[in-house]
Chains A and B, each alone.
Chain A
Amino acid sequence: MMRTLAWVTLLMLAVLAGAAAQEGAAVPAEDRRILVMFALAPPHYRPDSDYAGGYDARVAHDATRRIAAEVAHSYGLALSQDWPMPALGVDCYVMQVPEGESVEAKIRLLARDKRVESVQAMNTFRTLGHGDPLYSLQPSARLWHLGELHQVTTGRDVLIAQIDSGVDVDHPDLAGQVRHKENFVDGQDYAPEKHGTEVAGILVARADNGVGIAGIAPGASLLALRACWQREDAATLCNSFTLAKALQFALDRRAQIINLSLSGPPDRLLERLLDFAWQRGVTVVVACDPDVADGGFPASNPHVLAVGQLDASGSTGPPGADVWAPGRDVPTTQPGARWGFVTGSSFAAAHVSGLVALMLQLAPALGPADMPAALSTDLKRTDGATRASIGRIDPCAVISRLAPAWAGCNTAGVTAVVSLR
């Protein structure tokens, strides 16, 4: 009986020891590095250097190299790189803990060593931004925490119909994003134009492709419907006919979102088409005209989401708008593989269309009637009144409600964070 018990105990200990060893060995090599800081003695009078003249650079670094080597040897660590940090008055050394030994235990031991100023584990950080060079300039990066939203949704399987001037479908930042392009301007062919390309970039520019910007909904597809044309003086015009044809086409192709970054006089034909879109469950996003009291047409139509551009403070927008979004100094794509900055409610509308696409990936059944509730997060308006209305959008809160398992944005004034890789 006793012998059996002894064997069982031994076996259990062996299993436990094996498991412990296994756990130690399972930690990847990168995690075994620690940072050990040594105090840099401040420079002072020394007879030999003084007589030689000039600041003795050896004081800053060599003094710590010797102690670092001694400490590494004392604790059985491998010395790696080092970097002086005069801002903190320390020299920072990377040391590696050998396999099979506890990193935490080493850190505790080193923390008690009088030669060491401080010691910590080597931490890993993830990018929260995008690998797009202009990402950090995007207002959506800062105001909407775009990179964090993209952790949970990119607008996949959502089709956005953009009724605008021509989009440069060959633009590197738009490659593969345009499902179909179609021209509705009589007597003309499809052509890449400024306004259309600028709006398209904000909507669906490829993310993490190493160039340009990241669109609000890089996972969505675009129907580039050219119902407007760019004149020599760069003004972009459309007419009731071209717009109506494009709207019909968008409805035929079952686009879930229609973006109309344009404004004009009230139009009965278009109104009827917009009402039809509402009934079909298509969300129509329209830009507000800031010079017109009710935002102009089609923004004044009750069945569309009228978007106004946030002002310079980023807190208010025009009174005729349902929602306010960034539209100032937005970096975006321009024809001919270029990028530039744009300002205007056209671009604020594009932000909202992109956001709706992000929402629809998570909740495909959401329709235009659900939008006011889905977009509102009880934000106080700047006049102090609190209502469950829209106004300035908080995309982090909006997406959080649709993705309860998501941790949410790391708010409290975080700007685009860069990865330390």
Chain B
Amino acid sequence: MAARADFSGSATLASDYRLRGVSLSNEHASGQADLNFDGGGGWYAGAFFANVRLGAPPGPMIQWLPYAGVSRRLDTDTTVDLGVEYSGFTGGNDYGYFEAHGGITWKDLSARLFLSPDYFGSGAQTLYGQVDGSRPVNDFLRLFAHLGALQFLSGVPGDPNPTRHPIDFRAGLQARWSRVTAQLSWVTVSQVADAYPVGNYDGISHSSRSAWVFQLSVSN
């Protein structure tokens, strides 16, 4: 079998950049780009960039996220995947954090765990778990849903209560024509945790708990 190495990339415009139910763009539109490289043998590496508006008051900055990992096909329908990523932010702040992930994909379902020693630079150790599923409606339409839960393994300094488990949910419809994908989804989160630098410091939350999100992507 010949070694296979391939670049793939995409550019996205989203009405709101929601990560795990929380808006990182102060509910503004956000542009995103992802560049991915798949090596032979299942390893992969890439970099992701996005417009974010963090802090209090929220200021525009760029999130830059390099990642790498290895995926292995166990059988026709099942793949496992392990990797690490670093989420960095421009603008001279200390929001950057490492995260390791492990997951399994089976047909159109996937489950993944993320472990971070210092989530968004808050000092809290977190474990995030998610399950995702999608289902084709026809040749170009697809329904998808996502459910996640964030577990604080240690408290945020100044707020050591680790009992809150923010749960986020997202469901939507994706339409794909050739290289263009359009997506409409509804996102909700039970609680905007203090760990996120989304303006809770000034007493104003810059992320609502629920929102409709629309995004358009182009891939190569």
Chain A residues at the B interface, C-beta cutoff of 8 Å: 38-39, 41-48, 50-55, 57-59, 62-63, 66-67, 86-87, 89, 113-118
Interface centre among A42, A53, A67, A89 (most CB of B within 10 A): A53
Residue B81 at the chain A interface, CB threshold 8 Å? yes
Besides A54-B144, A54-B146, A113-B2, 14 other CB < 8 A contacts? Answer: A44-B69, A45-B69, A48-B10, A48-B32, A52-B215, A54-B133, A54-B145, A55-B132, A55-B133, A57-B134, A63-B6, A114-B3, A115-B2, A116-B2
- Name the CB-closest residue of A to B32: A48
A41 touches B4 (CB 8 A): yes
- Name the CB-closest residue of A to B3: A114
Residue B18 at the chain A interface, CB threshold 8 Å? yes
Do A52 and B183 form a contact, CB below 8 Å, given A58-B219, A87-B76? Answer: yes
Report the bound CA distance from A415 to B114 in whole Å: 52
Report the bound CA distance from A108 to B8 in whole Å: 27
Binary per-residue interface labels of chain B (114-148) against chain A in the complex, 1 for a CB within 8 Å, 0 otherwise: 00000000000000001011101000001011100
* Number of residue pairs A-B, CB distance < 8 angstroms: 127
- Name the CB-closest residue of A to B75: A87
Majority secondary structure, B binding face: strand
B79 touches A67 (CB 8 A): no
The interface residues of chain B lying within 8 Å CB-to-CB of A53 are 130, 132, 144-146, 170-172, 185
Interface centre among A38, A50, A86, A87 (most CB of B within 10 A): A50
Binds A, one of B38-46, B54-62, B158-166, B199-207: B38-46
Chain B residues at the A interface, C-beta cutoff of 8 Å: 1-6, 8, 10, 12, 17-20, 32, 34, 36, 38, 40, 42, 44, 46, 48, 65, 67, 69, 71-73, 76-77, 79, 81, 83, 85, 101, 103, 105, 108-110, 112, 130, 132-134, 136, 142, 144-146, 170-172, 174, 176, 179, 181, 183, 185, 215, 217, 219-220
- Name the CB-closest residue of A to B79: A42
Q: Specify which of B48, B69, B179 is in contact with A48 (CB 8 Å cutoff).
A: B48
The interface residues of chain B lying within 8 Å CB-to-CB of A113 are 2
The interface residues of chain A lying within 8 Å CB-to-CB of B38 are 41, 63
A210 CB to nearest chain B CB (Å): 32
The interface residues of chain A lying within 8 Å CB-to-CB of B5 are 114
Report the bound CA distance from A287 to B214 in whole Å: 77
Report the bound CA distance from A315 to B133 in whole Å: 52
The interface residues of chain B lying within 8 Å CB-to-CB of A118 are 1-2
Report the bound CA distance from A96 to B14 in whole Å: 41
Report the bound CA distance from A42 to B181 in whole Å: 20
B168 CB to nearest chain A CB (Å): 9
The interface residues of chain A lying within 8 Å CB-to-CB of B179 are 62
